[in-house]
């Protein structure tokens, strides 16, 4: 039997749809927020609308996961892209309205809701569209698309808004989303209809309970892996998000432009993880992937050193950029291994809700970690290196704890194989 390549028709169409959806959504939301800034002149309105529009993504992702298991995933993507296209058309009819601020806020919230439903459908489709030995690479591709959208979306949105009228951006977006929906018609995603009691709320509650039970009780290894990923965000990624602007702008006294450039290395690190996962996957697996957690912690050490010594600001800045890239790339590789493991251990009929519950828990760890490091950077403002060393220590310990979990997992896998 001929082995299928990674980029066969269905997966390729899925990725094209993902690119249009993520980039289009990101560009559209950023352009709309800039429009509000121009219309009101209020930075508070600009920031508030951006922040509020993100809330549905966190709150509704689990419901999107339930939907992805209950409805044909291809149809979900088609419908959501068509709805997004109609939302764009609706907004065009409202340009010039006296209530434009409220309308923009409503449109951005709707776009966020659509994204919370769209992503679980995509994530849960990957394991059924690619062969198991291509799954790691497939997840790497999806990570790259997400990272590029988060990185380039606002940049492209700002550039397009500067050169084109908002109406043109919205019209092009409407056409792009409609084209995406047409392409998705040709995707074939296996789907088995599940029994339902007919009551939507009860079905959602039961499904989410099943997902939580599956993660925490039926497959406790998944729960431990989930805790590891959430802990990385809590103690490691959050430190970088809070620490990067503090060290660059406050401690080194450098410009906002340089900080913005340094922040791009967060996305570039994730892209690097996606690009290298195919090569890394030939030597490593989930069983020894803890190495990348430890490596990510070690890569923070140069930041601790330059923040604790009197070094020329631009030299320190260069070290921070390189270190940030290597940290995020290392941790990103482990995250792809973890995501792939969770997918392979989850039955197809539960992929949507399990993936969405995992994503929600991981996302919720960010604000907690950011609040924690906000307090720490205020408390130890003269000893920033202490905070970085703390993050390194936690990350390395987390890596060795993960090694224990994965060693037990490997032992169970070997025992299972010996039975046959």
With 0-12 / 13-18 / 19 or more C-beta atoms within 10 angstroms meaning exposed / middle / buried, residue 204 is middle
DSSP H helices in 281-383: 290-298, 301-308, 313-345, 351-379
Average the pLDDT over 21-41 and give the result. 79
pLDDT at position 202 is 78
Across the chain, mean pLDDT equals 84
pLDDT at position 56 is 77
81 to 15, 181, 195, 246: CA distances (angstroms): 14, 6, 27, 39
Residue, of 33 and 109, whose pLDDT is higher: 109
Average the pLDDT over 247-254 and give the result. 86
On the question of pLDDT at 363 being above 50, the answer is: yes
pLDDT at position 45 is 66
Query: Secondary structure of 87-112 in the HEC alphabet?
Result: HHHHHHHHCCCCCHHHHHHHHHHHHH
- pLDDT tens digits for range 79-104: 999 999 999 999 988 887 788 888 88
Mind giving me the DSSP string for 254-278?
--HHHHHHHHHHHHHHHHHHHHHHH
- pLDDT tens digits for range 173-212: 899 899 999 999 999 988 877 766 667 677 778 888 888 8
Using only C-alpha atoms, the chain has a radius of gyration, in whole angstroms, of 22
On the question of pLDDT at 43 being above 70, the answer is: no
b/e sequence 288-309, b meaning 16+ C-beta within 10 Å? ebbbbbbbbbbbbebbbbbbee
On the question of pLDDT at 334 being above 50, the answer is: yes
Domains and CATH numbers, the chain: 7-187 (1.20.1250.20), 198-412 (1.20.1250.20)
**pLDDT band at 376; cut points 50, 70, 90:** confident
On the question of pLDDT at 419 being above 80, the answer is: no
Average the pLDDT over 351-364 and give the result. 85
Query: What predicted TM-score, i.e. pTM, was given to this entire model?
Result: 0.83
**pLDDT band at 326; cut points 50, 70, 90:** very high
On the question of pLDDT at 395 being above 50, the answer is: yes
DSSP H helices in 6-42: 9-40
On the question of pLDDT at 64 being above 50, the answer is: yes
């Amino acid at each position: 039997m001929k082995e299928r390549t990674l980029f066969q028709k269905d997966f390729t169409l899925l990725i094209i749809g993902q690119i249009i959806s993520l980039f289009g959504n990101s560009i559209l939301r950023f352009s709309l927020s800039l429009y509000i800034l121009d219309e009101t002149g209020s930075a508070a309105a600009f920031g508030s609308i951006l922040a509020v529009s993100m809330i549905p993504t966190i709150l509704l992702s689990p419901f999107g996961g339930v939907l992805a298991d209950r409805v044909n995933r291809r149809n979900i993507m088609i419908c959501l892209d068509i709805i997004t296209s109609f939302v764009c058309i609706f907004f065009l009819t409202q340009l010039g309205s006296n209530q434009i601020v409220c309308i923009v806020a409503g449109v951005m919230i709707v776009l966020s809701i659509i994204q919370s439903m769209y992503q679980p459908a995509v994530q849960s489709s990957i394991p059924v569209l690619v062969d198991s030995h291509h799954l790691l690479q497939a997840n790497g591709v999806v990570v790259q698309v997400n990272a590029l959208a988060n990185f380039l979306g606002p940049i492209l949105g700002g550039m397009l808004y500067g050169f084109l009228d908002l109406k043109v951006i919205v019209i092009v977006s409407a056409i792009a989303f409609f084209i995406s929906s047409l392409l998705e018609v040709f995707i074939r995603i296996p789907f088995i209809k599940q029994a339902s009691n007919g009551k939507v709320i009860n079905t959602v509650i039961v499904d989410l309970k099943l997902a939580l039970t599956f993660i925490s009780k039926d497959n406790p290894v998944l729960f431990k892996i989930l805790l590891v990923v959430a802990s990385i965000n809590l103690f490691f990624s959050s430190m970088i998000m809070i620490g990067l602007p503090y060290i660059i702008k406050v401690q080194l006294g450098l410009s906002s432009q340089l900080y913005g450039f340094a922040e791009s290395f967060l996305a570039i690190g994730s892209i690097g993880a996606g690009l290298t996962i195919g090569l890394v996957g030939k030597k490593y697996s989930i069983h020894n992937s803890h190495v990348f957690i430890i490596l990510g912690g070690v890569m923070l050490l140069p930041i601790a050193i330059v923040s604790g010594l009197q070094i020329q600001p631009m030299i320190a800045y260069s070290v921070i950029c390189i270190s940030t890239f290597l940290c995020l790339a290392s941790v990103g590789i482990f995250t792809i291994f973890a995501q792939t493991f969770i997918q392979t251990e989850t039955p197809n009929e539960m992929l949507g809700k399990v993936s969405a519950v995992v994503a929600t828990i991981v996302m919720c760890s960010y604000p907690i970690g950011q609040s924690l490091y906000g307090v720490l950077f205020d408390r130890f403002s003269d000893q920033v290196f202490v905070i970085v060393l703390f993050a390194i220590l936690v990350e390395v310990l987390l890596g060795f704890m993960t090694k224990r979990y994965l060693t037990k997992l490997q032992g169970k896998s070997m025992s299972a194989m010996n039975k046959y």
